[in-house]
Amino acid sequence: MTSASELTDHTGYWMRMVSNAVSHEFARKVSGEDVTVAEWSFMRALYDCEPTPPSVLAERMGMTKGAISKLGERLVAKGLVERAESQQDKRAHSLSLTTAGRAKIPILAALADANDAEFFGVLTKEEHEMLDRILRILAERRELKATPVD
Amino acid sequence: MTSASELTDHTGYWMRMVSNAVSHEFARKVSGEDVTVAEWSFMRALYDCEPTPPSVLAERMGMTKGAISKLGERLVAKGLVERAESQQDKRAHSLSLTTAGRAKIPILAALADANDAEFFGVLTKEEHEMLDRILRILAERRELKATPVD
DNA sequence: TCGATTAAGTTTCCTAGTCAACAACATTGA
DNA sequence: TCAATGTTGTTGACTAGGAAACTTAATCGA
């Protein structure tokens, strides 16, 4: 027999709950900069390595090509990202941050810092490091088994 | 100056990435039972404590009243949940699992077990326990500061 | 060299949420 | 007792993302 207490004993459940809370609060914070969490994620991925084709972003962000297509278009419309058509392949293009986009990065990063501090500041240094370490192990693992999302 | 490596060093970022992967895979698993992650979450919340008014579920699940209203209606349509009108308050009602809904709980719980095992099985017992402990601390903390979502 | 297949992005349709306006009912206080 | 205010849940407009069909271009193989 499955007892009620067992049912809440899923790590995935707690993770979703905490992650949602963190993301929700972060969304609130960045909305002041007229940016969504997905947009920040997109911009940061670009910052790490640009110019980048949408297909690569899709894989890195775990989103579909369609979603990236729309998200990219929104960011271009906001003037934070720009496209460069490829000469080798007329279907393809690559994306980069604009000067304005690049300028926003430190501001948004500061908000992310603040959000992290707000949520994870209750942990001891040891707990926080352990959490980071564990999340990286899991993310890395995901990388290996990642089924193409599309 | 903010360096590129700092930007991926947000715990919230990794948490969202891992949580999304876990939830996505879980969604795939439960879709075989014709249930969504939100529906499972709803049913489990009910299982813990029924009958429950929608307003309480909304708070417990961190969703808006509107979302709960629609989610509940879907579950009633699927025959997994039933409403009972309140006599004291003619606006209100409460929700419970039907026999069919209750019967599904162990099946879905088994899928959640499998999903947890699949993702968190790579961790050592010590790491897994630590992760659970930390997530509970964070969830509890969230509880305290939870702004009504609506 | 040209048809078939594959690849890169876009678009359309659908689902599931939020938000805000709302209707119905309850409560409270003069 | 009844108007003002608060509460419960629903609805409609809107948004973001997924799935799959589609367009266009590249590549591959006889």
Domain boundaries, given as residue ranges, for chain A:
4-145
Own/partner long-range contacts of B67-72 (Cβ < 8 Å, ≥24 apart): B68/B42, B71/B38, B71/B39, B71/B42, B72/B42
Of A3-7, B28-32, B37-41, least confident by mean pLDDT is A3-7
Q: Chain-wide mean pLDDT for chain B?
A: 88
Tell the CATH topology of A4-145: Arc Repressor Mutant, subunit A (1.10.10)
The answer to whether residue B148 scores a pLDDT higher than 80 is: no
Which residue is it, tokens 């700092």? B6
For residues A130 and A133, what is the distance between their CA atoms, to the nearest angstrom?
5
Name the pLDDT band for B49 (thresholds 50, 70, 90): confident
Distance A57 CA to C7 C1' (A): 16
Helix (H) or strand (E) holding A97: strand A93-97
* pLDDT at position A147: 43
Query: What is the model's pLDDT at position B7?
Result: 57
Phi/psi for B38 (5° steps) reads -60, -40
A114: number of Cβ within 10 Å: 14
The helix/strand/coil state of A89 is coil
- Where are the extended beta strands (E) located within chain B? 81-85, 93-97
**Chain B residues closer than 8 Å to A107 by CB:** none
- Report CB contact under 8 Å: A109, B44: no
CB B20 within 8 A of CB A34: no
CA-based nearest residue to B120, from B12, B18, B48: B18
Q: What is the pLDDT of residue B8?
A: 56
CATH placement of domain B7-145? 1.10.10.10
Is the pLDDT assigned to residue B4 strictly greater than 80?
A: no
A27 touching chain B per CB within 8 A:
no
Q: Does any strand D atom come closer than 7 Å to the Cβ of B55?
A: yes
> Which tokens in the block code for residue B44?
């489990």
Mean pLDDT (whole number) for B96-106: 95
A81 membership: H or E segment, kind and range: strand A81-85
User: Higher confidence at residue B144 or residue A27?
Assistant: A27
Mean pLDDT of B107-119: 93
Q: How many CA atoms lie within 13 A of A9 on its CB side?
A: 11
- Cβ–Cβ of A19/B19 closer than 8 Å? yes
Please name the helix (run of DSSP H) or strand (run of DSSP E) that holds residue A94, with its range, or none. strand A93-97
A59-93 per-residue burial string, b: 16 or more CB within 10 A, e: under 16:
bbbbbeeebbeebbeebeeeebbbeeeeeeeeeee
DSSP structural state of residue B122: T
Average pLDDT on B106-113 reads 93
User: Which segments in chain A show pLDDT lower than 50?
Assistant: 2-5, 146-150
Q: How far apart are CA A40 and CA A61, in angstroms?
A: 11
Residue of B nearest to A132 (CA): B11
pLDDT for the residue numbered A142: 67
Q: Is residue B149 over pLDDT 70? A: no
> How far apart are alpha carbons A22 and B59 in whole angstroms?
16
Name B103's bridge partners. Answer: none
Q: Which of residues 71-110 of B touch A (CB under 8 A)?
A: 105-106, 109
Find, among A58, A15, A61, A13, the residue nearest to A37 by Cα.
A61
Residue B36: pLDDT above 50? yes
Q: How far apart are CA B24 and CA B92, in angstroms?
A: 34
The DSSP bridge partners found for residue A83 are A95
> How far off is chain A from B141, nearest CA to CA, in Å?
8
